[in-house]
Amino acid sequence: MSEKAVFIEQPGGPEQLKLVEVEVGAPGPGEIRIRHVACGLNYIDVYHRNGTYPLPLPARLGMEGAGVVEAVGEGVTHLQVGDRAAYASQPPGAYATARVMPAKAVLKLPNDIAFDTAAAMMLKGLTVQYLLRKTLPQGGLQAGDFVLFHAAAGGVGLIACQWARALGLQLIGTAGSDEKCALALEHGATHAINYRSQPDFAAQVRDITGGRGVKVVYDSVGADTWAGSLDSLAPFGLLASFGGASGPVPPINIGTLAAKGSVYVTRPTLFTHLSTRESAQAMGDELFDIVRSGQVKVRIAGRYALGDAAQAHRDLEARQLLGSAVLLP
């Protein structure tokens, strides 16, 4: 069966993204074939494209999508042909009209969540779930606690602002413009810092928290925010580094953690949490529930044709997207 998919033959800029015809066969044991209605766009796709996270070449891109199950391989019992489904999953390959893929992280999609919403929220929403619900400082997080979340106006950040509000947390968001700060506040951040006009965001965090700092920093920016993130922590606080949009973080001098107040650093990944079907289902159920409750709304800032993936990447890297984006096959 001939379909379309986005490939790269070598790492590089957005111009490397090529829409080509591919053959999509039948699923093997533990696999399904899914026809996409929408495909998600994420910064990890940029890392795959530019070689920051190398892939065997030639490579397909895309880590999340939503659509309809067309065929089910042997041993798959939680999905049936005709089911609406959504996923965030390895290996890459979501930028496609259809694909065969492992079934364990593909979840049945509730009827009241639209396909484009699901494609825009699976990787981002499950990331927020494992951060706010599983990647926790000593003693966990309670209502009223302060947390710092960088890139608060992006797709992950806007979901985090809303989810934190639902948990009663005081989320301090950083963003690169007053417009983005206003968007973070609109979505539930209690404070927002424009790190371009206020580059010493750690000092602002100290002011907001009465000098103590935050229990946890969730940092997907990397090199540019690393030092300030450490300076924003309260004693025994946790820095969760889950991305490096500005470049990799510098080597850690472990003595710095002592000097900053016996603080902790971790580098979690979503796919460690999604490594079993049971974990993926539990995380997905919690994400679906909070979206269906209306406490988290998914903002889709851009819709692109599948063949326009290169432009979507340009807009993503230029930080022009205030929220999530999807590719439409």
Query: Residue 188 belongs to a domain with what CATH number?
Result: 3.40.50.720
Let me know if residue 300 belongs to a domain. yes
Same domain, 257 and 148: yes
Clarify whether residues 183 and 201 are in a common domain.
yes
Mean pLDDT of 272-297: 95
- Total domains in the chain come to 2
The two structure tokens encoding residue 95: 């930028």
Q: How confident is the model at residue 322 (pLDDT cuts 50, 70, 90)?
A: confident
11, amino acid identity: P
323 pLDDT band, cuts 50/70/90, is confident
Question: Is 69 a residue whose pLDDT tops 80?
Answer: yes
Answer yes or no: is pLDDT of 268 > 90: yes
CATH number at residue 291: 3.90.180.10
Three-state secondary structure string covering 91-156:
CCCCCECEEEEECCCEEECCCCCCHHHHHHHHHHHHHHHHHHHHCCCCCCCCCCCEEEECCCCCHH
Is residue 163 situated within a structural domain? yes
Of the candidates 245, 209, 220, the one whose C-alpha atom is nearest the C-alpha of residue 152 is: 220
Q: Can you give the residue range of the structural domain that contains 259?
A: 136-267
pLDDT at 83 over 90: yes
Q: How many other C-beta atoms lie within 10 A of the C-beta of residue 314?
A: 14
Q: What is the pLDDT of residue 2?
A: 74
Torsion from C-alpha of 101, 123, 38, 86, nearest 10 degrees:
60
Domain annotation covers residue 242: yes
- Is the domain of 260 the same as that of 276? no
pLDDT of 22 strictly over 80:
yes
For residues 24 and 146, state if they share a domain: no
CB 70 within 8 A of CB 97: no
Q: Is residue 243 part of a domain?
A: yes
CB 34 within 8 A of CB 99: yes
Q: How many CB atoms lie within 10 A of CB 223?
A: 13
Domain boundary pick from 267, 290, 319: 267
Output the pLDDT for position 264.
Answer: 98
Q: What span, in angstroms and rounded, lies between the C-alpha atoms of 167 and 157?
A: 15
Confidence class of residue 1 from pLDDT cuts 50, 70 and 90?
low
Q: Would 182 be classed as within a structural domain?
A: yes
Q: Region 137-148: what's the mean pLDDT?
A: 97
Residue 272 pLDDT > 90: yes
Q: How would you class 77 by CB atoms within 10 Å of its CB: exposed for 0-12, middle for 13-18, buried for 19 or more?
A: exposed
Residue 32 and residue 211: Cα distance in Å, rounded? Answer: 53
Q: What is the pLDDT of residues 240-259, one digit of tens each?
A: 999 888 888 899 999 999 99
Specify if 215 maps to a domain. Answer: yes
Residue in this structure with the two tokens 């999340």, named with its chain if needed: 64
What is the Cα Rg of the chain in Å? 20
**The two three-digit tokens of residue 34, written as one number:** 């899914």
Same domain for 296 and 247, yes or no, is no
Instruction: Return the higher-pLDDT residue of 173 and 53.
Output: 173
Q: How many CB atoms lie within 10 A of CB 111?
A: 7
Query: Which of 218, 250, 267 is the endpoint of a domain?
Result: 267
What number of other Cβ atoms are within 10 A of residue 150's Cβ?
31
Q: What is the separation of C-alpha 57 from the centre of its chain, rounded to a whole number of angstroms?
A: 24
Residue 77 tokens, joined: 């019992």
Mean pLDDT, the chain, rounded, equals 95
Residues 245 and 155 in one domain: yes
Whole-number pLDDT of residue 278: 93
Is 46 part of a structural domain of the chain?
Answer: yes
> Would 129 be classed as within a structural domain?
no
Residue 7 has pLDDT above 80, yes or no: yes
Among residues 217, 241, 267, the one where a domain terminates is 267
Q: What is the predicted pLDDT for the residue at 49? A: 97
pLDDT 10s digits, 156-206: 999 999 999 999 999 999 999 999 999 999 999 999 999 988 889 999 999
